[in-house]
Structure 1
């Protein structure tokens, strides 16, 4: 277990069973699941991060990270939904970010910044070259997010050499289907905060969204190549650490 303090919040990297259970409870609440815990087989393979409010001790954010190489990309969580054979050729260590959630009552934007500080430290310490995961939109009603998807199509599609292919049975092929000029105000209003941060770092997404009815989300595969992050953005991220 390791920990760090940043302002009002304390971040812990942990594998303690009691901490994992607390994370699973928060995840179930955030994802609106009809069960007390959100858990899966990937939990045992991941490093878990918990962010607490220092004064109250309340758990306000959690996420997990899974170390991956190109040779075992098919064993990642995202590979259940996306055909990722293109990334088998990626030269360098990868980390999959998953199950990111912030407690619904925790509205402080500082929490997201603290989370990215913890991710940045992990990436630097482990010489990670690609950070990836599934970025989720709440619910499965895609019409709500058409402007956001139009922006992803216009500006943020994955390079052809890394582009994830369709694997899930239920997908929205927004890059092929959308023919609209996006309303940027609506697009940004409906873009998940985690995804916005990925994109500000030069991140890219799949050309389709998976309709995940079990988790009641739409999600896109998202990647950011660490070497491609603008230098100014890297300085800002490391200043948070």
Structure 2
């Protein structure tokens, strides 16, 4: 998912935001957290365009009327944004990508993690009482901005945020399109046989929602074809050093088949830490 561009990246400073507010810049794009309710609302509008208009997700009637993808977690999460500063208008009009970030301390004080509705994350947390977790969710980018640079900035923001808050591990749902896991037998089986969480990181889908990922014997799996069948976001997580939980879950509202991605900070490939910087300074403003 994240690759180094062939040519040096030009950084352009924007006069619209103080340097301390911006987590990274590449060209005319910048990443930072949402500053106010208006920017969160605009991020929800971007999510609506991607999840509802493009992916045909089904959302509550009131949210559909407002053309916003919104839920109760939005009020407690931090919202990472990517903005195109060349778009005329306010920051709300410049948002082209977003990620939702939820730290463990905040989740425990406000009702838990979103992923816990599909996966047994509480058991994972209890086995790791000395570690700080962060949930990544609602990742989306407008179609015309699905480029290396946008993805790099999203990860720049995630990495800088994780370092700031002393996060030890990230997790979140990764999605396959459609509600029939068997249609993704090759990719799901590849993940099951090669990327499954182990030992203290073990986590499973909730028993009442559990769908088997072991749909093909390992000898029948072509690694090349399986990697090609993985959604870009999940493939990107795998390159970083992530693992997947045991069992998939069908999300009928979003019309996806979900797996749980688990990424301990210590697992992150050295090449990516070197690329972004151990202090997240590679694209810092």
TM-score normalised to structure 2 length: 0.77
Aligned to 2:11: none
Question: How far 1:183 sits from its partner (Å)?
Answer: 2.8
Secondary structure of 1:224's partner?
strand
TM-score using structure 1 length = 0.90
Q: Residues 240 and 143 from structure 1, CA distance in 2 versus in 1: closer, same or farther, beyond 3 angstroms?
A: farther
User: How many residues in Structure 1 have an aligned counterpart in Structure 2?
Assistant: 240
- Equivalent position of 1:133 in the other structure: 172
Task: Indicate the residue corresponding to 1:50 in structure 2.
Answer: 81
Q: How much does 1:70 deviate?
A: 11
Q: Which has the higher strand share?
A: 1
Judged with a 3 Å threshold, the aligned counterparts in structure 2 of structure 1 residues 86 and 211 are, in CA distance, closer, same or farther, namely same
The separation in 1 between residues aligned to 2:227 and 2:170, in whole angstroms, is 22
Bigger CA radius of gyration: 2
8 Å Cα contact 2:205-2:248 kept in structure 1:
no
Report SS of the residue matched to 1:75.
Answer: coil
Kept in 2, the 8 Å contact 1:10–1:54? The answer is yes
Q: Distance in 1 between matches of 2:200 and 2:166?
A: 22
> Following the alignment from structure 2 to structure 1, what is the Cα–Cα distance between the partners of residues 187 and 106?
30
Runs of 4+ residues deviating >3 angstroms: 69-74, 168-171
Pairing 1:14-93 to 2, within 5 Å after superposition:
14-32=34-52, 33=57, 35=64, 36-56=67-87, 58-69=94-105, 72=108, 75-84=112-121, 85-90=123-128, 91-93=130-132
Change (3 A) 1:71 1:108: closer
How far the C-alpha of 1:206 sits from its partner, in A, is: 1.0
Higher relative contact order (CA 8 A, sep 6+): 2
Flag structure 2 segments of 5+ consecutive residues without an equivalent.
1-16, 59-63, 89-93
Partner SS for 1:174:
coil
SS in 2 for 1:55: coil
